[in-house]
A and B are shown apart, each in its own frame.
Chain A
Amino acid sequence: MNTIPLDLQIVNALAALLLLLSFSMLSQRRIVSLVNLLAMQGLLLTVATLMVAWRTGETHLYLSGLLTFALKVLFLPWLLHRLIRRLEVYWDTEPLLNIPGTMLVGVLIVVFAFGLAQPIAELASETTRNSIGIAVAVILLSFLMMITRSKAMSQVVGFLSMENGLFFGAMSTTRGMPMVVELGIALDILVAMLVLGVFFFQIREQFDSLDLHHLESLKEGD
């Protein structure tokens, strides 16, 4: 049995935790907890980035780890919590598909994601065997969460978690994207959050609720 170096084992463990967090987000209906889970995801991502940085000695990965920490662990959760308090949305309504059903679909998606990652993983270095599959799974699970939730706030959380998955995939397979790209993405997320924040207020102003069902009335009539 060949021994995997300790740092790699840690990265793999972090990846597994990331997947687990995705599932717990899928089953969580309290929005406050959802944001906390997102923050935890960010924390895991930071640690994983720092591990990879330490392993490969790429200095810009340290930077990007710090950026992740500042943005995804501190700033965005703080912003979301503030929004939740001001908008007074603590609970999501019953999801469109019930939670056990969603979990089952999620399992299928993970299988699909690993199947998908198989041929790519064989080409990749040993560092990344499992992380590609996990990254794809996290992306698809977050997508699933966006589909099944009806409150705008949970969809934003899904969106951010999707970005986390993308970031993890990029970081673990290619030792991080170029710094410019990472900065660009970070800025995008920030701007998207701010715009969405404004949107929330507008939506609530208009419909007295953040429930996206109300947007159906915007559809062009027959």
Chain B
Amino acid sequence: MPKNNRYFRIMIDPKLLRGSLDTIILKLLDEHGEMYGYEITQKVKEITAGEIKLTEGALYPALHRLEGKGILTTEMRSIGNRMRKYYRLTESGQEEVVQKLSAMDEFIKSIQLILNPKIA
């Protein structure tokens, strides 16, 4: 069993992440304006000091799903010898961010009430 000390790091259970993936993507795009897929994976890794690693197999389907819903829009740009696809929020995407963040905040508070009733 991994421990949270200087030699072992508790990695976050991917099952916990599954429901939060859209919120993470939307929040990052809200903060950074536009990002490409690889950049999102690296930013998440950097912010969480490697605690959360977004897998490519989960990230791209999520980006495509959000694009299909009209929450994200894309733009292709040339970067030397290849093309790069940038994602950014649409107008409805910006509204979605507010809703998702508020829902996530409520969820975290409720979980804390269950896990740490004394502190909460």
Answer whether A and B are interacting partners.
Answer: no
